[in-house]
C-alpha cells in the first residue's frame, strides 16, 4: 500500500510566522497535491505537482507556496501565517487510481 | 453551480438498511469518479472508483454511474454503525492529470 506521511499531526503557530508542512510518499508517484479542508467548504486544492520542480496553482493558492525538490517530498509553505489559514491540511499522492491521503495536519494560527 | 454537489445530510438509516448517497457533477465530459469515506478527525480513504455507466459492486458497496444524467451514487447494503462517516464524491475532470474535484460530502449516521 502507498504510504503518505505528513510530518506533523497538530501545529500551533503565531500570526506572521513562516510555516512548513512536509509530505512524503513512498510509491514513486509523480502526482502530489495539497488540500485544505474546512467545515462546509469541503476539500479545496491549494497546489499540485506533476513532477520534481514542477508545480501548478490550485483553486486557492494565495498565501501559500510549495516546493518539490525530490519526487517523494512535497512541501507546503505558508509565507506569513494568518488566522484565516487555520485549517486541516491534507496531502495526497496519486498513481492513477484516485488519491491516497496522508493523515492530515491540523494547523491553528493564533 | 458547484462542480460536484452532494447533500450534506446527515442521512440517518437504521442498522441493516440500505444507505443511498448521491452526487451530481457539472462537467459532462468527466471520465472518472471516486467515493471516499472520512471518519471524524481522520483523512479520506478511497472505497470505490467507477469509470463506465452502470453498476460496480465491491462487497457491501455498489457505485452507480449515469453519465447522461451526470449522476453518481453509492449504495451501502446492510449498513453498520461502523459505516457512520462522511462520504466524499470526487470527479476527475478531463485533462489536468490526476487532479480531482471533491464534493463537500454527505454525513451518514447508521443508528442501532
Is there a contact between A37 and A88 (Cβ–Cβ < 8 Å)? Answer: yes
**pLDDT given at position B33:** 94
pLDDT of residue B1: 61
How are beta strands B61-66 and B54-58 bridged, if at all?
A: antiparallel
CA–CA distance, A96 with B100 (Å, rounded to integer): 11
Note whether A94 contacts B98, CB cutoff 8 Å: yes
Residue percentage of chain B with pLDDT more than 90: 79
Closest chain B residue by Cα to residue A58: B99
Output the CA–CA distances (angstroms, integers) from residue B33 to A99, B17, B47, B102, in the order listed.
12, 24, 11, 10
Residues of A in Cβ contact (< 8 Å) with B90: 98-99
CB pairs under 8 A between A and B: 49
pLDDT of residue A95: 77
Closest-CA distance, B69 to chain A, in angstroms, reads 23
Single out the residue of A37, A91, A89 nearest to residue B103, CA to CA.
Answer: A37
Q: What is the 3-state secondary structure (H, E, C) of chain A?
A: CCCEEECCCEEEECCCCCEEECEEECCCCCEEEEEEEECCCEEEEEEEECCCCCCEECCCCCCEEEEEEECCEEEEEECCCCHHHCEEEEEEEECCCCEEECCCEEEEEC
Cα–Cα separations (whole angstroms), residue B28 to A25, A85, B1, B3: 32, 33, 13, 10
Across the interface, which of B43, B46, B104 has its CB nearest the CB of A42?
B104
CB contact under 8 A, A42 and B45: no
pLDDT at B37: 97
Given a cut of 90, whether residue B30 has pLDDT beyond it is: no
Of B43, B49, B88, the CB nearest to A97: B49
What would the pLDDT profile of A21-53 be if each residue is shown by its tens digit? 999 999 888 999 999 999 888 899 999 999 999
User: In this predicted structure, what is the pLDDT of residue A2?
Assistant: 62
The percentage of residues in chain A with a pLDDT greater than 70, rounded to a whole number, is: 97
Model confidence over B51-109: pLDDT tens digits? Answer: 999 999 999 999 999 999 999 999 999 999 999 999 999 999 777 667 889 999 999 99
Tell me the per-residue pLDDT of A65-100, one tens digit each, with 9 for 90 and over.
999 999 999 999 999 999 999 999 999 999 767 789
- Please answer yes or no on whether A42 and B99 come within 8 Å at the CB atom: no
**Contacts B97 to A, Cβ<8 Å:** 31, 48, 50
* pLDDT(A12) > 80: yes
Amino acid at each position: 500500500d502507498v504510504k503518505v506521511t505528513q510530518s506533523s499531526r497538530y501545529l500551533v503557530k503565531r500570526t506572521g510566522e513562516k510555516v512548513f508542512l512536509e509530505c512524503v510518499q513512498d510509491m514513486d508517484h509523480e502526482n502530489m497535491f495539497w488540500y485544505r479542508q474546512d467545515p462546509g467548504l469541503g476539500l479545496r486544492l491549494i497546489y499540485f505537482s506533476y513532477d520534481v520542480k514542477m508545480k501548478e496553482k490550485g483553486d486557492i493558492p494565495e498565501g501559500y507556496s510549495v516546493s518539490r525538490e525530490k519526487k517523494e517530498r512535497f512541501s507546503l509553505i505558508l509565507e506569513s501565517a494568518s488566522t484565516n489559514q487555520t485549517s486541516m491540511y491534507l496531502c495526497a499522492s496519486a498513481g492513477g487510481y484516485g488519491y491516497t491521503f496522508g493523515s492530515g495536519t491540523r494547523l491553528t494560527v493564533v | 453551480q458547484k462542480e460536484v454537489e452532494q447533500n450534506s445530510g446527515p442521512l440517518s438509516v437504521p442498522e441493516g438498511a440500505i444507505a443511498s448517497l448521491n452526487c451530481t457533477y457539472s462537467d459532462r465530459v468527466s471520465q472518472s469518479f471516486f467515493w471516499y469515506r472520512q471518519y471524524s478527525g481522520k483523512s479520506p480513504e478511497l472505497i470505490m472508483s467507477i469509470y463506465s455507466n452502470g453498476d460496480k459492486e465491491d462487497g457491501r458497496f455498489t457505485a452507480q454511474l449515469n453519465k447522461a444524467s451526470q449522476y453518481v451514487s453509492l449504495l451501502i447494503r446492510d449498513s453498520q454503525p461502523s459505516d457512520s462517516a462522511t462520504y466524499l464524491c470526487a470527479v476527475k475532470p478531463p485533462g489536468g492529470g490526476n487532479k480531482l474535484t471533491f464534493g463537500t460530502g454527505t454525513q451518514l449516521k447508521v443508528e442501532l
